[in-house]
Structure formats: C-alpha cells, structure tokens
Chain A
Amino acid sequence: MSLQLTDTLYAALALYTLGTLAAFVSLLMGEKRLQYTGLLLMIAGWVAQTVWIGTICARTGHPPITNLPEVVSFVAWVTFAVELALWIRYRVYAASFFVYPLVLLLLTISAVVGENLAPLDPELQSNVFTLHLLMSTVGVAFLLIGLAFGLLAFVQDRALKTKRPGRLWDWIPSLDVCKNLSFRSLAIGFSIYSIGLIAGVLWSYRTTAGLMEFRVKQIAAVTAWVLFAILLQSYVTNTYRRKRILVVSAFAFVAVLVAMMGIRL
C-alpha cells in the first residue's frame, strides 16, 4: 500500500490536534509534564507537515504558496517554527495555548479546502510574485506570534494590576519578556510583510498596469498593515497595555486572516 500525498497532511493534523489537547489539559491540571507531551506531539506534527510541504515543492517545482490550502498551511508551518524557536530560547509555556490552536485551525482550513496540485499559471511564474507570497506568508506568521505574545503581555499586565494571578500566572514569563517578544515579532513581521506588500503592488502593476484592484484580499491586506503599524507604535510609546490596543489586535488578526483566506477573492 503506497502512501498518498494527503496522508502526511492528515497525520500532521492528527498530531496537532493531540498536541493542542494535551496543552489544554495541562493548563487545566497545572501539569507541566503534559505540556512537554503536547510540545513533542506538535513537533511530530510539524515534521509531518514539513514532509507534506516538501512533497508539494518536489512535485510542482514551486514553493507551496500558490493557492489557499498551501498558503494557510505554510503560515501554520512558519508560525509553529517561530513558536518553537522562542520556546527553546525563553521556555514560554503559555504561548502554546494561543499558538497551538491557531496552527491547528490553519491546517484544518488547509485540509478542508484541499485543492489539487496544479502547475503554476504562467502569469504567476514570476520572481516578484514568488517574493510577494513568500514574504507575505512569513510576515503573517511573525505577526501572529507577535499578537500571541501581545495578548500574553496584556494578560500579565491585568494580573499584576488587579492582583489576581489567574490560571496562566505560572505559565507566562515576565511582563518585560512578553512585551519584548511581542515587539520584536511584530517588528520583524511588519518589515517582512511590508516587503511582501510592496512586491505584490509591483506584480499587480506589471500584470494589470494598476497598483491595486481593490479586491477584498487587497483591502484586508492593507488594513492589516495599517493596524499592525498602530500596534507597533503602541509598543514604541509604551501604550500597549491599553484596552483599545487589544481591540486593534483583534481587528488586525481578523484582517490578516481575511487577506490570507481571501486569496481567491
């Protein structure tokens, strides 16, 4: 019996599901060892997903970022890679409660939508277009991590202000660490995402002779860029603790998802 291409995708999905469940049970039980089990499952899922992405690259001869399932899957893959790198450096347990479900959600979308592999449309066979997709997806992954740590910084700030530690208290690193990680991820993500947007505009100009066609995904992408700029500015001015910044974060998250999901819109 030979392995189907989607087998590795479903294996990754199953492992991410188990990893996310283990992380949540560990939160409920306050059991750190279970958190390690969750992390190992997620790593195993990530390896399976790497095989899936590698197989697509090998079969189509281009990066797996040309249709919706590929893009969301790639964002999930980079997001978990960044989360893993941060976990190794800072041992931030609490981030997993936000990042694991996000990775799982993205890969679920990828699996549900599922499109057949197809050779790249000649119109899309351009270095500028590849740069646009690659930079946008990597940028989005960093921005999502930045949002997750921003949320942790907000939770930590509230806990310290109200003097009510809450369930996540022991799992979240210091306020300064959350803030710095969020700021750095947002700054890196914003820079990469900006390059991606510029490349997109250039490609659009080349193919349609216009800078923008005002399609939903384009409006969402620019809105996300503006909202992330506001978020970054809140870190520079140290106003990131304010509630309205949390609202901006929520809108930025939605905008970036729409930009990603609206790849065909």
Chain B
Amino acid sequence: MALILVGVNHRTAPVEVRERLSVSESRLGETTRSLQSIVGVTGAAVLSTCNRVEAIVSSRDEDVIEPIVQLLAGRANTTRDELEKHLYILRHGDVVQHLFRVASGLDSMIVGEPQIGGQVRKTFTSAQELGTLDPLLTQLYENTMRVSKKVRTDTGIGEHAVSVPYAAVELARKIFGDLHGLHVLLLGAGDMGELTAEHLHQQHVKQVFVANRNHARAAELAHRFDGSAVQFDQVEAHLTRCDIVIASTAAPHFVIEADHVTRALDARRRRSLFLIDLSVPRNIDPAVANVDGAYLYNVDDLQQVADANLGLRRQKAVEAEEIVAREVEGFRRRLVAQDAVPTIVELQQRLEAIRSTELEKCLRKLGPMTTEQRQSIELFSSQLVNKILHYPILQLKDVTQTEPQERESLRKTIRKIFGLR
C-alpha cells in the first residue's frame, strides 16, 4: 500500500493559485469522491484551508499520482505543467511526517496556530462520513490527531499570543484572570483598537463602552459590541467604572493624563486598571505607567510581547519537531509490522499444511509406533518448519527496511519462493 499527498500551500503557491484550487465545504464531498474514483485509490481525503489545498490518498501503487495532478489541474482550470510549478508530491513516510507537522501547526504561516488542528480533524471526519477512509487513512488520521495533541500539550507551542490584539487579551488575563464581568472602554475608532475590543468582546467581558468625537460612529461601534456609546467628555467618569481602557484615536495629544488615572484609581479603591494605548501619537500620558495599580502598554510594548512570544514558539517548534520525528518513526514501524502480518500468516499456514500432509505420509509408511515415538516425530517436524520460517519472518518484520518498494519486493520474492497466491 502507498500513501500519497499532492498539494499546494502558502509557501509554494500564490493566493491566486490557492484560491482556484480551494474546495468549499459544499464541494468537499464531490472532490473527495472524484479522488476516490481514480483507479488504484483505496482511500481519499481533501484538506482545504486558506493556506493549503492537499489531496491525501492511499493507493495500491504510485500510478495514481498523475491522475490526481490532472484532477487538480482541471479544478484549478489550468494546465498540468502550469500547476506542477506550485505542487509538492509526497510519498509514504513523508506524507506521515507532513501531516503530523501540519496538524501540530509546525507548517503554518504563524507557527503553532491552533486552528489548523481542527481543520485537519474536519478533513478526516468529512471523509469518514463520506466513506472514503480506508483502514490505512483511518490509522493515519487517528495518529495525526494524537500527535497534534501531544505536541501542543507537551510543548505548549500555541499558548502565547503572537498578534498585538491577542497580546493585549493575554495581558488582561494576567492582570484580572477571568475577563467575565469586566468593563472595557474603547476610545476612538482606530482599526487596531476595534480589533482589540472585538477580541475582548469575544472573551465575554461584561460591557464595552465606546467614546468617539463622532458620536454616531461611537454608537455604531457600541452596537457591534452590544455595548454603549458615551460622550467623549464623559471619558474621565468612565475610567472609574472600566477595568480596561483601549485608546485608539487620531488625537495629536494625550487624551488621558496621569491625574485622571490617579483620581480614577482612588475612586476604584485602587483596583487595577489596564490601559492599552494603540495610537500614534500616543493618547495616554506615559507618566500613567508610574501610577500604582495602573498598567500601561503602548503599541510597541504589545508588539514586543507578540514578538517575544513568536520567538518562544519558534524555540518550542524545535522540541515539537523532535516529537514529530519520533512519532513518524513509531508509525512507520507499526505499519511495517502490520504490512507483514498477512504474508506471515499465509506462510505459516502454507508450511503447516505441508508439514501435516508429509507427516501423515511418513507415519503411514513407518507403521505402528509408541506414543512417545509419534510425539518425537511430530516435534521434529514442527521444529524443522519453525527453523525454516525463522529467517523469512525476521526479514518480513524487519522495521529497519525503510523503502516501501524494497519491502514490497521482498514480500513478492518470499511469496514466490514459498508458492503463496
């Protein structure tokens, strides 16, 4: 059996190619079935995300590669030669390694991103529902998900935020723990501020207040976050009530001064206040950072946190690659052992049949004998067969033999020599 993967990703193909190849959820079934219908293919699944489109198949041999490439070229409405420039074709162990890495987020644009694990799971569950997963792909699926979980648990590769808005959410959690029940004040309508407020809103904060010079715009944004719009001159009053303040206005001066924060903290009985200044020029006086109980982060600080986390993820990726390498080797060994089982069973049955027949003939010729004599001859014949089978079985089980073609050739030779079907 062969494992084949043909695909493109963000490194090999530009978005124009990927978007033509991408498979929408509604067409996933049809595409997977088209793959399955290629002669020689025994199992098929299609992974389609914004960064990659991959056809994963198990087949009797590698002759299926060409029809798969043709199928993809047809889908992309391009020529085979044109598509080939962007394609990668992986075989056997490389497919296993690739899938383990992809599901663990090691092949992602942002190392360790968590969404890809779910996307890989969805790919295989869809194929399972369609009935296009054969035992080999089922095994590959189960192992891929197990390795992905192991990598994430053992290394914590996806634990730290690597974007500015997520870094802000992560810091808010470091200050307040649970974000439920917190009040957020968004000043201005800058893109980054909006995005940060959006992330906080997704964490189920209690309420988002929006203040903007343009009150209509504030009301519009507040509606998006199920919050309330407040007048810009009411900002100081809201500092007392809010736990997180995001400043993202176009104002060329400080909107929040250290005095405002000191007064607010006094009124809050010194409960912590997290201030995020995403504006350039800055909207929050840097002196706020010196106020006890106030935690001020500007866009550079958050970027530094995100960059440091990305560096951390890269360090953890080295550890993750080691886990993947070990797991790929383990999977390969299990497959080799498994592949050899039918031949070994047949071989044992064949030689047992020969032994039984020849033993009967021999016993008839020898005539009457004692039970001990009969048992000795039977034991001799069994031991002889076992000795003959010892080396062929050892060779069939040899997991150090890495090339599938060589293993197949060995199996064929043994079957031929012993007259197996």
Chain A partners chain B: yes
Interfacial residues, chain A to chain B (CB-CB below 8 A): 32-33, 156, 160-161, 163, 165, 169-170, 173-177, 237-239, 241-242
Q: Is the CB of B292 within 8 A of A175?
A: no
Q: Which residues of A contact B301 (CB under 8 A)?
A: 163
Contact A239 B173 (CB under 8 A): no
Q: A163-B301, A239-B292 are in contact. Are A175 and B270 (CB under 8 A)?
A: no
**In the bound complex, do residue B304 and residue A175 qualify as a contact, i.e. CB atoms below 8 Å apart?**
no
Q: Is the CB of B292 within 8 A of A242?
A: yes
Closest to A240 in B: B270
Q: List 12 A-B contacts (CB under 8 A).
A: A33-B154, A160-B295, A161-B295, A163-B297, A174-B173, A174-B176, A175-B175, A175-B177, A237-B269, A238-B269, A238-B293, A242-B292
Q: Which of A173, A174, A241 touches B293 (beta carbons < 8 Å)? A: A241
Among candidates A163, A165, A176, A241, residue contacting B292 with C-beta atoms closer than 8 Å: A241
Tally of contact residues, B, Cβ under 8 A: 23
Establish whether residues A160 and B177, one from each chain, have CB atoms under 8 Å apart when the complex forms: no
Q: How far apart sit A24 and B289, CA to CA, in the bound complex (Å)?
A: 33
Is the pair A238, B271 in contact by a Cβ cutoff of 8 Å? Answer: yes
Residues 235-266 (chain B) with a chain A CB within 8 angstroms: none
Kindly list chain A residues whose C-beta atoms are within 8 Å of the C-beta of B308.
165
Asked whether B174 lies within 8 Å of A174 as measured between CB atoms, the reply is: yes
Decide: B289 and A173 in contact? CB cutoff 8 A.
Answer: no
Chain B 291-319 interface 0/1 with A at a Cβ cutoff of 8 Å (1 = within) = 01101010001001100100000000000
Q: A174-B175, A174-B176 known; A161 and B289 CB under 8 Å?
A: yes
The residue on A at minimum CB distance from B175 is: A175
Q: With A and B bound together, what is the CA distance between A196 and B301 in angstroms?
A: 49
A160–B171 CA distance with the chains assembled, in angstroms: 8
Residues of B contacting A175 with CB < 8 Å? 174-177, 272
The answer to whether B272 touches A176, judged by C-beta atoms less than 8 angstroms apart, is yes
How far is B295's CA from A163's CA once the two chains are assembled, in angstroms? 9
Contacts of A174 in B (CB 8 A): 173-178
Q: CA A173 – CA B174 in complex, angstroms?
A: 7
Please name all residues of chain B whose beta carbon is closer than 8 Å to the beta carbon of A239 when the two chains form the complex: 270, 292
- Known contacts A163-B304, A238-B270, A239-B270; decide if A176 and B293 are in contact (CB<8 Å): no
Residues of A within 8 A of B156 (CB): 32
* Bound form: Cα–Cα A238–B269 in Å: 7
A170–B156 Cα gap in the complex (Å)? 11
The list of the 3 closest CB pairs from A to B, nearest first, reads: A238-B270, A174-B177, A177-B177
Which A residues touch B305, using CB under 8 A? 163
The one of A32, A160, A169, A237 in contact with B175, judged by C-beta atoms closer than 8 angstroms, is: A160
Q: Find chain A residues with CB under 8 A from B292 CB.
A: 239, 241-242
Q: Which residues of chain B (155-188) have a CB below 8 Å from chain A?
A: 156, 159, 171, 173-178
B269 cross-chain contacts in A, Cβ below 8 A: 237-238
Interchain CA distance A239-B293 in the complex, whole Å: 9
Contact with A along B344-365 (1 / 0, CB 8 A): 0000000000000000000000
A176-B176, A176-B177, A177-B177 given; name 20 further pairs at CB < 8 Å: A156-B174, A160-B174, A160-B175, A160-B295, A165-B308, A169-B174, A170-B159, A173-B177, A174-B176, A174-B177, A175-B174, A175-B175, A175-B176, A176-B272, A238-B270, A238-B293, A239-B292, A241-B292, A241-B293, A242-B292
CB distance from B281 to the nearest CB of A (A): 20
Q: Could you say which of B159, B174, B289, B305 has the most chain A C-beta atoms within 10 Å of its C-beta?
A: B174
Question: Do B272 and A237 touch (CB < 8 A)?
Answer: no
Give the distance in Å from the alpha carbon of A238 to the alpha carbon of B178 in the complex. 19
Q: With A and B bound together, what is the CA distance between A163 and B67 in angstroms?
A: 56
Task: Name the residue among A161, A237, A242 with the largest chain B CB count within 10 angstroms.
Answer: A161
Residues of A within 8 A of B176 (CB): 174-176
> Considering the chains assembled together, what is the distance between the CA atoms of A161 and B289 in angstroms?
7
Of A32, A160, A169, the most chain B CB neighbours within 10 A belong to: A160
Contacts of B175 in A (CB 8 A): 160, 174-176
Nearest-Cβ distance from residue B247 to partner chain A, whole angstroms: 17
A67 and B293 alpha carbons, distance in the complex (Å): 44
CB distance from B64 to the nearest CB of A (A): 43
Distance A59 CA – B288 CA, assembled complex (angstroms):
62
Closest to B172 in A: A174
